[in-house]
Amino acid sequence: MKFTLTAASLTFASALLASAQVPTTINYDDRYCRAAERNGIENRWPTFGQVPQFPQIGGGFPVAGFNDTDCGSCWLVSYAGTGRGVPITLINSAPSGFTLCTDTLLALTGFDRDNVPDNIPVTVVQVAASECGQ
């Protein structure tokens, strides 16, 4: 009986996690690759390079603006084309989708600078801050 409840709980938890994935798009901005760049989270990380797991940072639609509670949140960005996923710390807003460091986007997708399409389809899900080294 205990095993049945545990298996049922895991199945339910997996279903919840899968349903929490949000389809969106990614693009890139070299600004997020600059370690010395300053950001709006001065009290936590005065520069981009001080964010744990830099350059896995970016802007995203969950952050509405300055001082948003989702600033510093961790999101797993998954690209079906490669089967890869990368945890990203959001340090800024974005008008739509997620904007990543160029190098991070290229590593995730397998594209190079000469063939990156606009707005690459991905799924995102918020994960524990520890996934981003926080």
Give the pLDDT confidence of 8-30 residue by residue, as tens digits: 444 444 444 444 899 999 999 99
The SS3 assignment for 130 reads helix
Q: What is the band of 112 on the pLDDT scale with cuts at 50, 70, 90?
A: very high
Q: Is the pLDDT of residue 31 over 90?
A: yes
The stretches of 1-117 forming alpha helices (DSSP H) are 2-19, 102-109
Whole-number Å distance between alpha carbons of 91 and 101: 12
- Name all domains of the chain by residue range, CATH numbers in brackets: 21-132 (2.40.40.10)
pLDDT of the residue at 42: 66
DSSP classification of residue 94: -
Determine whether 100 is exposed, middle or buried from the number of CB atoms within 10 Å of its CB (0-12, 13-18, 19+). Answer: buried
Give the pLDDT confidence of 35-48 residue by residue, as tens digits: 999 876 667 888 99
CB atoms within 10 A of CB 59: 23
For the chain, what is the mean pLDDT?
87
